[in-house]
Amino acid sequence: MKRSLLGFFLALTAAFFMTATALAADVAQGKVLSMDTATNILTIEEFDTHKSADHPYGRPTGVTADYKIEKQTLVGIKPQPGDVVRIAFKTQGTERIAVRIMNVSKQDLRKK
């Protein structure tokens, strides 16, 4: 009985950790530089995490990054150049695939 419970617990724990890593995504935030609808590529200038009165979403880093938007990508308010967005993404090879995109500057939850 003890062995079967231990085996069950170990299998359950392993399944939990495999699922948790499969659902995990990296997050980036920054200002939209361009949105190419032909290639579905969103380009942003990334922000750091140092927020202040002058930079409520973080300071610009000068680093640009491209994110591929697929059919299953969840997009809130459509991003436009100049908007601040938060992107949850996964990496496949050298591509960053957007999983979710939140237009922070237009749907800022802090203002509610």
Condensed to tens digits (0 to 9), the pLDDT of residues 39-53 reads 999 999 999 989 999
Where does the pLDDT of residue 25 fall: very low under 50, low under 70, confident under 90, or very high at 90 and above?
confident
Q: What is the pLDDT of residue 43?
A: 97
Mean pLDDT, the chain, integer = 84
112 versus 39: which is more confidently predicted? 39
Other C-beta atoms closer than 10 Å to the C-beta of 101 total 23
CA separation for the pair 43, 65 (Å, rounded) = 6
User: Mind listing the domains of the chain with CATH numbers?
Assistant: 25-111 (2.40.50.320)
Backbone angles phi, psi at 49, to 5 degrees: -100, 10
Q: How far apart are CA 9 and CA 39, in angstroms?
A: 46
Q: Residues 78-96, buried b or exposed e (16+ Cβ, 10 A)?
A: ebeeebbbbbbbeeeeeeb
- Tokens of residue 57, six digits: 């979403």
Lowest mean pLDDT among 11-20, 50-59, 64-73, 78-87: 11-20
pLDDT at 70 over 80: yes
